[in-house]
Amino acid sequence: MDRQMVAEFRNEFDLTDAVQAVRDAGFEIVDAYTPFAVHGLDKAMGLKKSRINQISFLFALIGITVGVLGQYWVSAINWPINIGGRPWNSLPAFMPVAFEVMVLFCGLGTVFSFFAWRKVKYGKQGLQPNLRATNDRFYVVVKQGQERKSTSVVKDIVTENNGEMVDQ
């Protein structure tokens, strides 16, 4: 595994600027650790738009299908009961429940997909450069290049943006 360099910043603006500069200088950003979702850092890090909304849509489709077909099967096929002369397949009346089932599937499906993607480790202490990453400090982890001088380039950018290197 390549060696990594870690830098610490005191606010989100310095971090974003430094990340942008480090990437422009041709380095690869491994990750950043921040106490909150920093606006604009995704662009600076060059992260692609998450595709989890497609998974979401899939769960919503499953939900509405289960909702509509389930009610149809129950009310029209499995055990039809004449309720006030309504048709077996009262589709308009099935809509509220179908909608709720769709929202339920979609919401839970999205959240659990997120958990599955992160491979959450229940009860494990998070691995972060410093515990202050969840409090008031911002960290960036940069992949160190092959050449010796690369270290000093990153160091310069970090210092320029009011940050400091963290000893590993």
Partner 1 sequence: MANQISVREPQIHGNKNHADVTQDVCNIMDRKPTWLWWLGFGLALSALALGLVSVSYQIATGIGTWGLNKTVGWAFDITNFVFWVGIGHAGTLISAILFLFRQKWRTSINRSAEAMTIFAVICAGLFPIIHMGRPWLAYWMFPYPNFRGPLWINFRSPLAWDVFAIGTYLIISATFWYFGMIPDLATVRDRAKSKLKKFFFGVLSLGWNGSFRVWHRYETVYALLAGLAAPLVVSVHTVVSFDFATSAIPGWHTTTFPPYFVAGAVFSGFAMVLTLMIIARKTLQLEDYITLNHIENMTKVIILTGGIVTLSYATEFFMAWYSGNGYEQFVFLNRALGPFAWAYWIMVGCNLITPQFFWFRSIRRNVVLVFILSIFVNIGMWFERFVIIVTSLHRDFLPSSWSMYTPTWVEIGTLIGSFGLFFTLFLLFIRTMPMISMGEVKSVLHYRGNGDNQNG
Q: Kindly tell me which of 1 and 152 has the beta carbon lying closer to partner 1.
A: 1
Residue 129, phi then psi, degrees to nearest 5: -60, -35
Decide whether 44 or 157 has the Cβ nearer to partner 1: 44
Q: How wide is the angle at C-alpha 164 spanned by C-alphas 159 and 168, nearest 5°?
A: 135
> What contacts 105, CB < 8 A, 6 or more positions away?
59, 60, 62, 63, 66
* Binding footprint of partner 1 on the chain (CB under 8 A): 10-14, 31-39, 41-42, 45, 47, 49-50, 52-53, 56, 70-71, 74-75, 78-79, 81, 83, 86, 90, 93-94, 96-97, 99-101, 103-104, 106-108, 110-111, 114-115, 117-118, 120-128, 131-136, 162
CB of 147 to partner 1, least distance (A): 26
Q: What minimum distance in Å lies between the beta carbon of 113 and partner 1?
A: 8
Burial of 73 (0-12, 13-18, 19+ CB in 10 A): exposed
HSE at residue 108, side-chain half, CA atoms within 13 A, is: 7
Looking at the Cβ atoms of 118 and 148, the one nearer to partner 1 is 118
Select 98 or 154, whichever has its Cβ closest to partner 1.
98
Q: What single-letter DSSP state applies at residue 9?
A: E
